[in-house]
Structure 1
C-alpha cells in the first residue's frame, strides 16, 4: 500500500512553510494555531505507534520515494518539499527529512485517581521534557502543568520528551486550584526537611509535586502535600536538578508499588 499522492511545495513563501517556521521558533505558537509540529522520524513513529494520525505528513523530495510505502496511512494529507526548503524551517542542528503536523489534542479533564506529576512553573524545556519521559516510564499517566510552566507541546519539550507525550494525559496552563479535583495524596520533595525518600512509605497512586528550578514549590502547592520527602545526597551537593529528582522519586514510587 502506498500513501496518497502528495502535494509539492517549491516556494519558500508557501503558507504551510510559513506556519512551520512559526511553530518551530515560537514555543507557544501551537496554542495560537491549534497545531503541533513534530520534526523527525522518531517523534513521528512514537505518535503513530500510539494511534495518532497526522493532519499532514511532510517529507523532503529525497525521502519521499521510500517514505510513500513506509508511512502509508499515517496522515490525512501528504506534502513533499524541496530538501533545502524543509531544512530552512528546521529547529535541529541536523535537519530532519520528515515531520508531522498534528491537530493539538483537546485538553482533558483531571482524572482524580490517576498517578500524577504536577509541574509548578518549571522554566527549562529540557527539564520538562525529561520529566515527561520519566512519568511515562514509571507509570505516571497524568501530568498537570501549572500556569507558568514551559509550554508542553513546544519543539524543545517535544524533543526532550522523546515521544512520551503520546502516552500521557497532559493538562497545561492549570491554576493551582485544579488540584482540588485530585483524589490521590500529594507528595513533595524538600532539600532540608521531611522523611528520607528511601525510608518513606509512599502512597500509591499519588501526585508528585515538582517545583520551579530556583524557587521550588509555591506555598499554595506545598500546603497541599500530605507528605514531604528528601533525597539522600551523601556526596554533599546542595540540591539536585529537578528532572533528576523527579526521576528518582517516580522510580521510588514505581518500585514501592511493585514491591
Structure 2
C-alpha cells in the first residue's frame, strides 16, 4: 500500500501531481511520496488532490549527485521546504544549463531539436531530450536516443554539474530530511557493499531496498547491509507514469505491495532530526 519513489511532470514523469494522485488512489495506494528530481514544486498540487481521498502525501525529493564521477541519486523524505528551496534553485538552474548544452551538442552533430517550454519550477532531464529527439524524427524511441546520443558515453551527453553524494546527504540532513540511497544496484560507479560505508560516514540514514530493478537476492543483500549499518529500509516503483513502450523492469503503482510499516520508521527518523 506504500509508494516512496514517484515522479511527476515537474521532473521527468508523464503525469501531473493530480493525475498521479488519481492513479495512486485507483491502485489502492495509501501513502504516496512525491520524489521529483531536484524540485519540490509538485507537493502542494498533490496534497490538494489527495485530500478528498484520504491519501497521505509524503513530501520528498530525489537529489541528483555524483560519486566517483558517476550519477548517484539520493532520496530525501520530510525536508523543511523553507530551508531546501534556495539551494534547490541552484540545482534546477544547473539542470537547465545542462539541457541547453545537450541541445547545442545535438545541433552540432546535425540533429537539431526543440524542447518544450520549461518553467523555472521544472527540472529538465535526459528523458525530455530523448522525447524531443523522437518528436524531431531523429530516432524512433527514447531508448534509441539514449543508445545513440545521450547515454553516459554518448556524443551529446553532458554530466551533471559537480555535486557530490556527501554534499547532497549533508544538504538533506541540514534541512531535516531523511537521506536514502536510491536503487543502489543501478549505480555504476562502484560496488554496493564498498560504497555504502562511505555514504554512512557522510550521514546516510537509509537504503531503497525494494525497487523494480532489484532482484530478490539483491534485496536480501541490501536488507542485511541495513541491519549491519543500522539503516532504515524503503522502497517504491520509481514510477514515471504510463509508458507507450515500458522500459525493462518498469512496473505500475503499488506493484511491489510494500507495507505501510516501512513509512513509520521513516517518520520516526524524520522526527528525530527535527527534534
The normalised TM-score by structure 1 is: 0.31
- Bigger strand share: 1
Give the structure with higher Rg (CA).
Answer: 1
The normalised TM-score by structure 2 is: 0.30
- Bigger helix share: 2
